[in-house]
Structure 1
C-alpha cells in the first residue's frame, strides 16, 4: 500500500442496534477502501455517557463481522481518549476562540422568542450570543462558583483568522464552505466532555483518514469541520456523502423510529448476502 492509499472509516454511536442505513454506510466506506487497496478503520463514537451503552458496542462489532466486514488495526473507542479532546479544547481556548455558555435550553428559547427574527442554521435557530457578551470578570465569577456550562466556538473570532475562504473536495470538485451558518457552535456540552464536531475532526486527523464517507444528511457539518481542521492545523480529507436508505414512505431509517435492525433481519432468516443487497450493495 502506497503512502497516498485511501483510508476510510465507519464510526457509529452505540445508542442502539445497527439497521440497514448503518449497513449501507459501513459497506460504502469498506468498499471504497478495499477496492483501492487501502485501509478501512472502525471507530466507536461513544462520547455521550447518557445515551451510549457498552452492550451496543459489542453488538456493533458482532453485526459488522456477521455482515462480512473486516477492519484494519484496533477499534478506536472515543470514551477512552477524553484527555485528547480536552487538550484540543484547551488549545482553542488559549487562542481566545472558546467561551463558556451558562444558558439553559429554556434561556436560549426565551431569548430567541423575544427577538424580532432569529437566523437559522442546519440545526435550527442560531444561538443568540448571550454569554459571548459577558465580561471576563462575570465569566470568572460564575466559573469559580462551579456553574454548569458548555463551551462554544466564537465563530466571528474564528472566521477572522481565515486567510482565504474555505472549501472541501467532493467528487472531483471544490465546494465553498459557509461555517458561519452554525453560529457559535457547541464544542463541549454540559453533560458531554466534547462534541461530535470536535471529536470527529480530531480523530479523522489522528487516524490519517483520507476519505470521509458518511450520509448526505451530514454534508452541512462538513462546513464546520473544515473550519476546525484549519484552526487546529489538521489535514484536509476528501469527502463522499452517500444518499440515505429510506423506508417505503421515503423516510430515512432511524433508531428512534424503530427501524428494523440487522439483528431483526438475521432472526428472520436473512443471510448476510441478502442483507447486503437490502442495504444497496448486492454482491
Structure 2
C-alpha cells in the first residue's frame, strides 16, 4: 500500500475502531469526560446517541480502556439483539460467573446479585456497556431495567451505559419504557465534524500513523473531504484512504483536490459538492493533467519509456 510512500508506520484511516486514533476533538472528548464523571458519581443509566459513522464504537472502546481496571469491573455487550435470558447470561459471564450457561434462569438473577455484592464488598464498582443499543428488543430492555433494581441500601450494584443510533431515542420514548427513560441521568449526542475539525482530524490521524512531514492534505482537499462526507468520521476515513491511494498511484506526496475527486467518484453514496462552471473547468484541467502525469510516472517506473 502507500505506507512507505508517505513514511508511515501503519494505515491511518482504517474503519476498524483503533483507540490510539481517538478523536481529540471537543465533541468526542467532552462526551468521554462526561461518561467518566457520571460513572465516577455512581449514576445509574447513561445514554450516548449518534448517527451512523460518528464514532460511537470508538468512544465505547476508549471508555473501556479509560476505566480503571483496579477499581472497576466492566461488562461489554457489542451485539444486544438478545432475548432477556440471553442478556442475563451474557452479563453473568462478563462479571465472572463461569458456569452461567448451566444455571437455571430463575436462579441466575440470584447468582448475579450475589456476584455484584461480592464485587462491591471488594471496593469495586461494576459497569455494563451496551453498544448498538437501538437493536435491543423491548422485552430485553425491560429485563435490563429490572436487573438494575439490584442494589444495596445505599447504592446501585451496577451502572449502565447505552450507545446507540437515534433510533434508540425513539425506542425509549415508548410509553411502555417510560420507567427506564426516567432513570437516564445523563445523555449526550455525538455530532458530525465541522469543516475546520475535519482538517485537524486528518492531520492528527496521519501524524499518529507516523507521518512526519508538513500538512499531508492541502486546504482545498481537506475542505472537499469535509463537504463530501458531511463531517461523518467514517466517510472521512473512507475518502481520505482512497485519496492517499490515488496520490500514491500518481507518485504525489501531497493530497490535492484532484485526488479527493477520484476518491469521491469511487465511493457509493457520496457525491462531489456542486461547483461553479469555471471551477469545474479548472478542476477538470487539473485532473486531466494529473492523470497524464500519473500514466507517465508508472510507464517510466516500469521501463516502458
TM-score w.r.t. the length of structure 2 is 0.30
TM-score w.r.t. the length of structure 1 is 0.31
- The structure with the greater share of residues assigned to strand is 1
